[in-house]
Amino acid sequence: MTDSEIIDFETDKQSTYMYELRDILYIRAGGKTPKAFVRTYGCQQNVADSEKIKGMLAEMGCELTDEKEEADIILFNTCAVREHAEDRVYGNVGALKALKKKKPSLLIALCGCMMEQEHVAEKIYKSFPYVGLVFGTHVIHKFPELLYNSVVEGKRLVERGTDDGKIYEGLPIKRDGTFKGWLPIMYGCDNFCTYCIVPHVRGRERSRCPENILSDARSMVENGFKDITLLGQNVNSYGKGLDQSISFAELLKKVAGIDGDFWVRFMTSHPKDASKELIDVIAENPKISPHIHLPFQCGSDRILKLMNRRYTVEKYMEIVEYAKKRIPDLSLTSDVIVGFPGETYEDFQKTLELIRRMEFTSLFTFIYSPRVGTPAAKFKDPVTHQEKALWMGELLKLQEEISAKRTASMVGRTMRVLVEEEAKEGILNARTHNGVVVEVPGKTELIGHFADARITEARNFILRGQLEQTK
């Protein structure tokens, strides 16, 4: 299978639907430019998918809006990773009932990871009769066709594709940002961590071919992008299944080799195959951010085994020690799950111990959430949620102290930053190469540009500074 075989077939067919929908949606909107509201839940992978959906909507003549009330199409791209993420979607879909009543022509569509779970798609279909279109992650490339069928036939439609293991290239993309963007390099996941729903809703791992990735990266740089994040659930296993032999480290090096002034970063790395080769590439390429997001999940080997993570605490520490030695400004961030089924307070203490030793810049912390269809959902889970919440409190307090210490150590330095947004009037948020936010006074014209910032003050996680010169 090559990617190009798929491009020609699918995009041609979908282009016809997009073309047909231009008139249909315009007429449905009462002879006005149709407006679409797209909300994205979950990770950057979903954000990148939504950018494709927005690209297709633009080709269909739609304008994006931030106001649900004025939309002709409302689309939620959902996340299934934890119960909380799903509950937010249910709540927000429930709230659309009144809008649909006021505007019967409103088309409500749900897509994304939640929809790839049969029981969820069924629940949505039954509980929310005003939802017109439901489609899963495997059929995003068919969005125009599905929308066409749903509008023309006026029937409710559910399409949860089976994972065909293919990669659909050449879909239009409307990026949310103008200088900071996401670049998917692979899809799916084969790791099957026992708590995780992602492999069940995103299908098997498949890598895009390097030529397509490099061409996207080049075009982003040409269009003024200054910060590019390569995306995948486990970027370290990039390249498996491709005809040519290429590792993630090699791909990263090639992206960093593109002419132009930009930073490249990546997420997420899995510790089981984080290689020294990768660390060396980061250390040797100034365009690659000295930032590694390396989720450890738990500091107890016993629990890591039950999680099917396939590394030990020792292996994790070894790769981090190597990275810290090779990359002086390394910023290390991680994900951690508290209260995995069977985890004891002693196991949890090992997690705290690892956090103390690793000194992460910041942590994404989650209380374990059982997911239907995953092995861990059947494990005995005797610790109450309340108790897990207390453990979490302990963890957060420790990490706060570490983060504060780390940010304080940056005071007095001058660092290159990318100015990202206005925080409040006259104050901008800028980000260092290794991902730490610095508040600086300055004009909004600087947004999207590199500058040098002298760090003058640290308050908990936030750094304050002054811009020295703009480049």
203: nearest Cα among 138, 111, 110, 115 = 138
> 172 or 188: whose CB is closer to ligand SF4?
188
| Tokens standing for residue 19 | 């073309």
Determine the 3-state secondary structure of 44 from DSSP: helix
Helix axes 248-256, 276-284, angle to 10 degrees: 10
What are the distances in angstroms from CA 417 to CA 96, 107, 282, 432, 435? 41, 42, 18, 4, 9
Which of 28/310 has CB closer to ligand SF4? 310
Q: Which of 14, 45, 300, 432 binds ligand F3S (CB under 6 A)?
A: 45
Residue 193 binding ligand SF4, by CB under 6 A: yes
**Considering the rule CB under 6 A, would residue 89 count as an interface residue with ligand F3S?**
no
Segment 153-192, which members bind ligand SF4 (CB under 6 A)?
Answer: 189, 191-192
Could you say which of 36, 71, 80, 446 contacts ligand F3S (CB under 6 A)? 80
Site string for ligand SF4, 246-275 (x = CB under 6 A): ------------------------x-----
**Residue among 331, 347, 339, 349 nearest 409 (CA):** 331
Residue carrying the six token digits 């104050």? 427
| Cβ atoms 234, 268 nearer than 8 A | yes
First to last CA, the chain: 45
Helices (H), 409-453: none
Does position 81 interact with ligand F3S (CB under 6 A)? The reply is yes
Among 29, 56, 183, 198, binds ligand F3S (CB under 6 A): 198
**Can you tell me which of 201, 337, 418, 467 binds ligand SAH, judged by CB under 6 A?**
337
Stretch that binds ligand F3S, among 77-85, 119-127, 220-228, 424-432 (CB under 6 A): 77-85
Binders in 104-143 for ligand F3S, by CB under 6 A: 113
CB-CB contact of 439 with 462 (8 Å): yes
**Buried b or exposed e, range 393-421, using 16+ CB within 10 angstroms:** eebeeebeebbeebbeebeeeebebbbbe
Residues that contact ligand F3S, how many (by CB under 6 A) = 12
* Shorter beta-carbon distance to ligand SF4: residue 234 or 351: 234
Burial of 312 (0-12, 13-18, 19+ CB in 10 A): middle
Q: Is 233 in the site for ligand SAH (CB under 6 A)?
A: yes
* Binds ligand SAH (CB under 6 A): choice among 247, 268, 300, 361: 268
Neighbours of 104 (CB within 10 A): 7
Partner from ligand F3S, ligand SAH, ligand SF4, none contacting 366, C-beta within 5 to 8 A by type: ligand SAH
For residues 288 to 317, the per-residue mask of contacts with ligand SAH, x marking binding by CB under 6 A and - elsewhere, is: -------x-x--------------------
**Which residues in this chain contact ligand F3S in the complex, by CB under 6 A?**
42-43, 45-46, 79-81, 113, 197-198, 201-202
Positions that interact with ligand SAH (CB under 6 A): 81-82, 195-196, 198, 233-234, 268, 270, 295, 297, 335, 337, 366, 368-369, 371
